[in-house]
Amino acid sequence: MDANREPQEQHRSVLYHEIINLISPKNSGRYIDATVGAGGHAWGILNASGPKGQLLGLDLDPQALSLAAIRLAEFPGRFSLIQASYTTLRTQMQKLGWDSVQGIVLDLGVSSMQLDTPERGFSLLKDGPLDMRFSPSQPTTAADLVNQLPERDLADLIWQFGEDRNSRRIARVIVQKRPFSTTRELAEALEKTGGRSKDRLHPATRTFQALRIAVNQELQSVSDVLPLAVDALAPGGRLAVIAFHSLEDRLVKQYFRKESRDCICPPEQPVCTCGHKASIIEITRRPISPAESEMQSNSRARSAHLRAAEKLVLA
C-alpha cells in the first residue's frame, strides 16, 4: 500500500498527514479510531497498514458510521464499525478478541458534518432544533438545558464549559426569553447581549459550545478515556489526540505530563511516597497545529491542537 496516497474525498480530516505520520501504521497492526466520524483518519490508517492491518472504528453518531462504512468499503474484512462511546473501547476490543492495539486516534468535539447538518442543532449559523446530541439515543438535549435549568446553574454551565465572562448576563437573558426550540431563536436572543468580542466571535458562540459539551458530557468522557486508551496500547503503541478548544487540550496535556513522570509527589516533598511510574513518553511536548494552507482551506482546523504519546516498554 502507498502510505502517501490520499483519500478520495472533498474534505480531508483535520491534521490528516500529521495523524498518519504519528500513528505510523504497520502491516498486520491493530488500530482504533475512537471518533471515526466519516472515516477520514481511518481510511489513512487502513491504507498505510495494508494488506493485513485491522481497524476498529467507534462513534456515537449512526449517520457518521454509515458514511464511514461507504468510505472504507475498499478495505473489506479489515475494519469493524460500532456505534458506541469511546469510553467503551476496552469492551469493544474484547468483543473482537483484541488484547492490545498499536495505535489509537481521538478527534474530539463536533465534526464538520454535524455542524453542516441543520437538523442536528449544533450550529448557530444554521437554523434547526436545539438538539446537539452526538447520538439520538441520548436523553438530554440542549433545549432541555436551556429551558429547564435555574438561572444560576445555567450561568455556571456557560462559564465552566464556555469560559464566557458574560455568563451571568447571558443566563439572565435566556431565562427571561425562554422557552427556546431552535438554534436561530437562541442565537438571535444572545446576539443582543453584547457586541462581538476581540476575537470577533458571535456572542452566542461560547454558549453553544458550553451547551454541546454539557449535553454530551464531553470533558468527563475525555478524562475517562485517556487512561483506558493508554492501557489498551501495546508497548510502543501510540495515542494521538486532536482537541479543538482549551478545556479539552488542557485535560490531554495534564494527563500526558502526569503519566510521563515517575514521581507525582508535590515539589516541596523531599522523599517520593507516591510510587507512581511513568507509563508513556510525550512525543509532542508542544501541540502540533495545522499548516497555514490547511487552515485557509478548512476554517475548522484553525483551533486544532494535536498531542501524541507513546506507551513505554516497561522492564
- Render pLDDT for 39-58 as a digit per residue (tens, 0 to 9): 999 999 999 999 999 999 99
Percent of the residues in the chain that have a pLDDT greater than 90, as a whole number: 74
Reported pTM? 0.90
Tens digit of pLDDT for each residue in 129-188? 999 999 889 999 999 999 999 999 999 999 999 999 999 999 999 999 999 999 999 999
CATH class of 120-216: mainly alpha
4 pLDDT band, cuts 50/70/90, is low
What are the pLDDT digits (tens) for 11-44?
A: 568 999 999 999 999 999 999 999 999 999 999 9
Looking only at the bridges linking them, the beta strands covering 101-107 and 79-83 are unpaired
For residue 296, what pLDDT band results from cuts at 50, 70 and 90? confident
125 DSSP 8-state letter: T
Cα torsion angle, 231, 71, 82, 114, sign: positive
pLDDT grade for 10, boundaries at 50, 70 and 90: very low
Q: What is the DSSP letter of 13?
A: P
Domain boundaries, the chain: 16-107+218-311, 120-216
Average pLDDT score, the chain: 91
Question: CA-to-CA distance for 4 and 2, rounded, in angstroms?
Answer: 5
> Mean pLDDT throughout 198-205?
79
Strands 233-243 and 305-311: antiparallel
For residues 135 and 40, give the distance between their C-alpha atoms in angstroms, rounded to a whole number: 20
Q: Which fold does the domain 16-107+218-311 belong to in CATH?
A: Rossmann fold (3.40.50)
Residue 190: all three cell numbers together: 444572545
How much of the chain exceeds pLDDT 70, in percent? 94
Could you report the per-residue pLDDT of 61-120, keeping only the tens digit for each? 999 999 999 999 999 999 999 999 999 999 999 999 999 999 999 999 777 777 777 888
